[in-house]
Amino acid sequence: MKEFKKIGVLTSGGDAPGMNAAIRAVVRTAISNGVEVVGIYRGYSGLISGDIKPLGLRDVSNIINKGGTMLYSDRCPEFKTEKGMQKAVQTCREFGIDGIVAIGGDGTFRGATDLTAHGIPCVGIPGTIDNDISSTDSTIGYDTAMNTVIELVDKLRDTCESHARCNVVEVMGRGAGDIALSTGIASGATAVVIPEFEVDDQEICNKISTSRRCGKRNFIVLVSEGVGSEYAPALTEKIMRQTGVDTKFARLAHVVRGGNPNLRDRVMASEMGVFAVKELLEGNSNIVICIRNGDIVATDINYALNLDKLYKGKVTKEQLVGFDEVTVEKMCAEAAERRKRLERLYNAAKTISL
């Protein structure tokens, strides 16, 4: 079995509250197992340029409660090229990095699997507010981001009630409607618009008109950015025109990505960090650490990435290559289960948003 003397940790892609808690757990678990740790700054960019520093136990003190990432983050197109990859591998050799824990989203995992194939074992930890990694029930930062959304929407509701207005609120999530859907329910939205389900704008307008006639003063419509950046401003205009209700538009954007992680994200990130290092040191790589029904488990990265594609309808089960029949069936069942959960939430939102 490979002996690990030194491992690296990096954060990549969009930052997420809780990434620091994961870094802290990675550093402390490795050190307590006699393994040195280096922090790789600015994600894969720092791996290419050698922006790397040793991290000791005390270097990760007082960060568990902090948003953002102490290692900074970046999107690094160069890492997707063979030349960039070769530079990264060279840096690992120079710094004596035997393995890497990469905290980020699916793009980060694609990078991690490439790096593993080039001889540097990697383990991924899902850190993104979007919750768009199908193999895990939750990603680090998702819960905190949703709590930030409901806090902000509650404030919007106050002023909507005073002025008898509607507020269309667009939230991040990339292609996934998870944030918008759950926060829509939690903030009592009149309607939720997410990319996974067709929605009829007219139906939303009719609902607002009917409720206004019955005396309802405030309306919140939660929209996921995944439906397109022009959709929410256009819907705002349409509601105003068709219902006569004064309607404002708010794009919450990056504010939802900042702030201190909540308890759930701190604990989950810590558990995932511990688990990731243990797996790496036991010789397991090319895996992503997931939470499934409350348990922390390891999933093969290729499985995770293909499950995502299947869930998002980017491939059919017939187009999945390199997996046996049993695995494909397992993937189909997992994708179906996730879709069912989303449908259940969506139906609940529709039923109670009157």
CB atoms within 10 A of CB 95: 17
Q: How far is the CB of 141 from ligand F6P (least distance, A)?
A: 8
- Residue 322, SS3 per DSSP: coil
Task: Please report whether residue 12 would count as binding ligand ADP according to CB under 6 A.
Answer: yes
DSSP 130-164: T---TTSS--BTHHHHHHHHHHHHHHHHHHHHHHT
Contact with ligand ADP (CB under 6 A): which of 104, 121, 124, 141? Answer: 104
Q: Residues 43, 48, 51, 53: is their CA dihedral positive or negative?
A: positive
Residues with Cβ within 8 Å of 154's Cβ and at least 6 positions away in sequence, in order, are: 187
Task: Please report whether residue 75 would count as binding ligand ADP according to CB under 6 A.
Answer: yes
* Catalytic residue check, 130: yes
- Residue 280, SS3 per DSSP: helix
Pick the closest to residue 280 from 106, 122, 91 (CA basis): 122
Residues with Cβ within 8 Å of 194's Cβ and at least 6 positions away in sequence, in order, are: 173, 177, 180, 181, 223, 224, 226, 227, 346
CB closer to ligand ADP out of 59 and 78: 78
CB closer to ligand ADP out of 88 and 205: 88
Stretch that binds ligand ADP, among 73-81, 152-160, 253-261, 304-312 (CB under 6 A): 73-81
Determine contact, residues 8/100, Cβ cutoff 8 Å.
yes
Task: Please report whether residue 14 would count as binding ligand ADP according to CB under 6 A.
Answer: yes
Q: How far is the CB of 347 from ligand F6P (least distance, A)?
A: 24
* Partner in contact with 173, chosen from ligand F6P, ligand ADP, none, beta carbon below 5 to 8 Å by kind: ligand F6P
Stretch that binds ligand ADP, among 110-118, 214-222, 269-277, 344-352 (CB under 6 A): 110-118
Radius of gyration of the chain (CA): 22
User: Per CB under 6 A, which of residues 121..140 are in contact with ligand ADP?
Assistant: 128
Task: Please report whether residue 11 would count as binding ligand ADP according to CB under 6 A.
Answer: no
Residue 6: Cβ-neighbour burial (10 angstroms; 0-12, 13-18, 19+): middle
Residue with tokens 């998870």: 178
* Partner in contact with 257, chosen from ligand ADP, ligand F6P, none, beta carbon below 5 to 8 Å by kind: ligand F6P
One of 51, 74, 106, 130 is an active-site residue; which one? 130
Report strand pairing: 219-224 vs 52-54: unpaired
* Partner in contact with 195, chosen from ligand F6P, ligand ADP, none, beta carbon below 5 to 8 Å by kind: none
Amino acid at 198: E
Task: Please report whether residue 105 would count as binding ligand ADP according to CB under 6 A.
Answer: yes
Q: How far is the CB of 133 from ligand F6P (least distance, A)?
A: 11
* Partner in contact with 111, chosen from ligand ADP, ligand F6P, none, beta carbon below 5 to 8 Å by kind: ligand ADP
Q: What does the binding site for ligand F6P look like in residue numbers (CB under 6 A)?
A: 13-14, 105, 128-130, 172-174, 225, 257
Task: Please report whether residue 41 would count as binding ligand ADP according to CB under 6 A.
Answer: no
Q: How far is the CB of 237 from ligand ADP (least distance, A)?
A: 32
Pick the closest to residue 178 from 220, 225, 135 (CA basis): 225
* Partner in contact with 172, chosen from ligand ADP, ligand F6P, none, beta carbon below 5 to 8 Å by kind: ligand F6P
Q: How far is the CB of 18 from ligand F6P (least distance, A)?
A: 13
- How many residues touch ligand ADP under the rule CB under 6 A: the total is 17
Name the region of 68 (left: φ>0; alpha: ψ -120 to 50; beta: rest): left
Q: Which are the catalytic amino acids?
A: 130
Binding site for ligand ADP (CB under 6 A): 12-14, 44, 75-76, 79-80, 104-108, 110-111, 114, 128
